[in-house]
Chains A and B, each alone.
Chain A
Amino acid sequence: MKKFITNLLLFLSPIISSGILMEVLLRRIPNDYQYKCYYLDRNSNDISVLILGSSHAYYGINPQLMTYRSFNAAYVAQSLFYDWQIIKKYDRCWHSLKYIVLPVDYFSFYGRLENGIESWRVKNYNIYYGIRSCNYTDNSELLSNKLLSNVGRIKSTYINHESTVFCSEFGWGTEYTSQKRKDLKSTGEVAAKRHFLINRGYFNENVAVLESIIKYADKNHVKVILYTSPAYKTYVQNLNREQLGRTINMLYAISKKYNNVSYINLLNDNSFTQVDFYDADHLDDLGAKKLTHKMDSLLFTTEKLPAGKMMCLNKRNI
């Protein structure tokens, strides 16, 4: 038995040590999650507008262009559950918070980050935000990604010295520029297909999470601006009407139910044209500028409304 254990440990030691070394190197790579958490740790009490949500908000709203002090805490594939967890994490720190801006899109009520193809991102919330996950592999960078991807990250950071933080000082995603625009037709079809009915069973669960955010906001005298992100027609045309209709109807119902909620549906907003899109469901820097201005003016509109007079800001345009 002694010989067996010795030989086994001898054999495993290079594998285990290289694993530990990689884990250490990977954790030392700066990343957007780490940066956003770092920023919120220091500035959450000064923020007036908190932008949450998925990549649609991450690339779509540039806080630097807003009148109030804002921060974009949205990120790629961030679900309502993680939006809620981020709010809760800084509970008692939101001293200046006036608005929460949150996109609720075609897929928002139908998925969970943990169960989709982006589930590997859960470890980032666990490791960098400290939002605990029940899956123990989410405690490790190494175990949450493929070897090739991990090696690639190590190489680009430590050998090529490339930047690994892609958001601006205020959390806005800077990678999707108009110069790098993708084909709007094919990306529209693919994204619509990817976002179709991820799981109908999550609908009520996600609505409940959204309502928790709204109730929390109400308790703390914070207004919630819900919006459905603008998208290019190739994406909109390929959406399932039932799934979209159910989402939009629920958002109208929620905006009616809660006095601190406004909802605006920008899905078919004609002011966003081809040049505003990076791909069919994401805005580029030009589109982001447009949306940010729209949101900024919206905040002033809602601010003028007396308490209890929040509203749906446009007609249904499903």
Chain B
Amino acid sequence: MLFNSISFALFLPVVFILYWFATSKSLKAQNMLLLGASYFFYACWDYRFLFLLIFSTLLDYFTGLKIAAAPNKGNKRMWLWLSIGINLGFLAFFKYCNFFSASFSAAVAQLGFRVDPWTIKVILPVGISFYTFHGLSYVIDIYKDRIRPEKSFIDYSVFVSFFPLLVAGPIERATHLLPQIKKKRIFDYAKAIDGLRQILWGLFKKVVIADQCSHYVNMVFNNSAHFSGSEHVVGVVLFAFQIYCDFSGYSDIALGVARLFGIELLRNFAFPYFSRDIAEFWRRWHISLSSWFKDYLYIPLGGSKGGVWMKIRNTFIIFLVSGFWHGANWTFIIWGLLNAIYFLPLLILNKNRTHLEIAAKGRLLPSGREVISIVLTFSLTVFAWIFFRAASVGDAIRYITEIFSTSFFTRSGQLQLSIPFILIICFFLIIEWLGREHQYALELPEIGFPKFIKWSFYYALVFGIWYFAGSEQQFIYFQF
């Protein structure tokens, strides 16, 4: 059940009505409803993997209790590693098994031996990377005494499986979400309207921008040889828009849906393409994952306490793991590595925390210097996206070679961007820029506009979604 599907458009109002009308008097009933709806939502993908989700939930729930009840540090550690081992074991089996096997076989072949890779036909359970990280953060937080274990299995299960975030995040923390699940929710009109608005903007980004970009992106990346260097640049720039609108669109819908149920999820995107350096970009892109890695990997590794070299080492580790988290392919690892390399000058010069506020804060337009830094950061990011999108490292290298060839100054004529499409991209960028100081771009029309103008604007967005809606397209991050 995709967020951009008719089935979800039917599912959501049913759950909403049951939640606020049938079960509103009892918090327990509301949570049970949320859990049932979440399991139903997940079973619509593949009911077989529902058992894996339930097993993972049970595992972390019980290990959480065991860690808290353990008499000594050694016992606590044993339970912690049991949970980490099993969670990562499942992730490794479903996500990385074939990758490790093929890489081993290729490495051995370099030494002159022939070993056929042992591959298994396994489907990746949707959302496994996300709910595994939910569970891990929970048990680690209990081990570190940051939280007490959750006694109610229902409440804990809702924390892991809450349907808006189940398949592609944001990756929540028990410290943030569990207290909301345990507290009685009261319907808030302003929040609910805000939620709807965020859903609308998310859908617009997904259906109108991301899905339209994907048409051109697939054309260029899948038939690279037929396009010139300059068209390759256009292809990857459009991919930058596609992945941003696809994933941040998903996150907007998730946050908006959660808000309808009186729950605030962690913000996942903060206008990353307006960043002035790569450090700022990573503070604004997939925030819930970046902060997860920071809290559960970077800081335990020593963070920046051990000087510049320690900081560089840990940053490289974080980016390599982050690349690997995205998928079992060398392209993601190189993508992570490239981002780590971009970080190097900032780390050496200790300038990785220069831009903590959004660009041109309090002003309508950026300064010339800001424009240059934004364009430069965007270009670096776009270059790294080539590896993220390409099917293999070889394909990525061929793609880059084509960009830097003489064909850059030619046009094959096969990539024809329509004028309305370009205008829509410009419209999107303007709205994002104007709304950059808010939680999401569309918070803007709330400020002082008459209802008539606001509604006309919303109708225009609905019309755009309706106009471009066709076959439902999956969100890119579902594959991770």
Residues of A within 8 A of B (CB): 1, 3-4, 7-8, 11, 14-15, 119, 136-137, 143, 146-148
Contacts and interface: CB of A to CB of B under 8 A. Distances in A.
Contact of A143 (B6, B192, B193, B458): B6
Contact of B189 (A4, A147, A148): A4
B6 A147 contact: no
A4 B193 contact: yes
Contacts of A8: 196
A146 B465 CA distance: 11
Interface stretch (B231-239, B406-414, B466-474): B466-474
Contacts of B20: 1
Contacts of A7: 193
Interface in B429-463: 455, 458-459, 462
A148 B420 CA distance: 14
A119 B470 CA distance: 12
Contacts of B55: none
B45 interface: no
Given A1-B20, A4-B192, A11 B455 contact: yes
Contacts of B455: 11
Contact of A1 (B187, B459, B469): B187
Interface string B351-372: 0000000000000000000000
Chief secondary structure at chain B's binding surface: helix
A137 B10 CA distance: 12
B458 A4 contact: no
A14 B460 CA distance: 13
B462 A15 contact: yes
28 contacts: A1-B20, A1-B187, A1-B189, A3-B189, A4-B187, A4-B189, A4-B192, A4-B193, A7-B193, A8-B196, A11-B455, A11-B458, A14-B459, A15-B459, A15-B462, A15-B466, A119-B471, A136-B6, A136-B7, A137-B6, A143-B6, A146-B467, A146-B469, A146-B470, A147-B466, A147-B467, A147-B469, A148-B467
A273 B6 CA distance: 48
Nearest to B13: A8
A124 B94 CA distance: 40
Nearest to A2: B189
Contacts of A136: 6-7
Contacts of B6: 136-137, 143
A148 B464 CA distance: 11
Contacts of B467: 146-148
A239 B455 CA distance: 54
